[in-house]
Amino acid sequence: MINVNLFTLGVPGYSIESLKLEDAERLQKLYEKCADYNYLVEGKPPSPNAAREEFLAVPEGKSLCDKFMFGIVDSQGEIIGLIESIRGYPDEQTWWGDVLPH
């Protein structure tokens, strides 16, 4: 994954932060708070390693260099949302994107 540091949102107390594998523990807290989303999508709660697995998951033919993960972060440094994108997926002219809000 390419690492970009921090973007401000123009909304006091919130920013967007580039996430890296070392942030998996912080991101896991969001997954656990949003367990209802996981129930809807997968029919079960998030695994204890869901965030780490998300950092490492890429579609066939893609690498971690094609994956971008950003956390929406509050003033206490807590990740309250996730923005994820994969460059060139499902075809080279498209960027796949997903959002997980708190």
Q: What is d(CA 93, CA 87) in angstroms, rounded to the nearest whole number? A: 9
What is the architecture, at CATH level 2, of domain 6-101? Answer: 3-Layer(aba) Sandwich (3.40)
Quick one: pLDDT at residue 102?
A: 66
Q: What is d(CA 77, CA 40) in angstroms, rounded to the nearest whole number? A: 27
Quick one: pLDDT at residue 101?
A: 72
Predicted TM-score (pTM) of the model is 0.85
Quick one: pLDDT at residue 3?
A: 47
Quick one: pLDDT at residue 10?
A: 78
Domain ranges of the chain: 6-101
Name the nearest CA neighbour of 29 among 101, 73, 99, 78. Answer: 78
What pLDDT tens digit does each residue of the chain (102 aa) get? 444 566 677 788 899 999 999 999 999 999 999 999 889 988 999 999 999 999 999 999 999 999 999 999 999 999 999 999 999 999 999 999 998 876
